[in-house]
């Protein structure tokens, strides 16, 4: 009887480890983001900054056009989350091209990465947190004029 209990514990542990092997998450924020390590690299903010500075990756801002107009990563292309399916293949037809994705806090980043993976994109990058609000390297952030209020931001 003891041997069967022990075997069940081993099997359950192996199942859990197998499931965990398919999931990576940004659980520092206690959110459950499902990223596949083989197609999504989660970089430290410093490594993401270096990647941005090198210019070796397409940078996609998945926030709304209004958010993009106020502040963005230099060189980023605005493809709002709601428009990814319709527009991304025209903008980046090569599905193995490097794509760095960001939004405001990371929530839309996770959704966009999942959409891109489902569409067959294989070289996706995000930074820990996934949002521009917590990005500490300000020299790569453009703050523009808020045209609606005609004031500098």
Instruction: List the domain range (segments joined by +) for residue 79.
Output: 25-152
pTM above 0.85, yes or no: no
Give the CATH number of the domain where residue 125 resides. Answer: 3.40.250.10
Number of domains in the chain: 1
Rounded-to-integer distance, Cα 92 and Cα 114, Å = 16
**Using CA atoms, how far apart are residues 2 and 97, in angstroms rounded to an integer?**
53
Q: Is residue 148 part of a domain?
A: yes
Residue 22 has a pLDDT of 36
The pLDDT tens digits for 84-99 are 999 999 999 999 999 9
Spatial distance between the Cα atoms of 152 and 147, rounded to a whole number of angstroms: 9
């Amino acid at each position: 009887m003891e041997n069967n209990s022990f075997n069940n514990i081993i099997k359950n542990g192996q199942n859990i480890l197998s499931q965990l092997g398919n999931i990576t998450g940004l659980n520092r924020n206690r959110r459950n983001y499902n990223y596949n390590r083989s197609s999504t690299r989660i970089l430290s903010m410093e490594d993401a900054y270096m990647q941005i500075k090198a210019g070796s990756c397409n940078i996609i801002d998945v926030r709304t056009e209004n958010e993009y107009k106020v502040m963005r990563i230099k060189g980023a292309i605005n493809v709002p989350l709601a428009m990814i399916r319709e527009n991304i293949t025209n903008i980046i037809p090569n599905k193995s091209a490097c794509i760095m994705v960001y939004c405001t806090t990371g929530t839309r980043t996770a959704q966009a990465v999942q959409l891109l993976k489902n569409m067959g994109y294989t070289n996706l990058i995000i930074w820990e947190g996934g949002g521009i609000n917590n990005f500490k390297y300000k020299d790569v952030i453009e703050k523009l004029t808020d045209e609606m209020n005609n004031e500098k931001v």
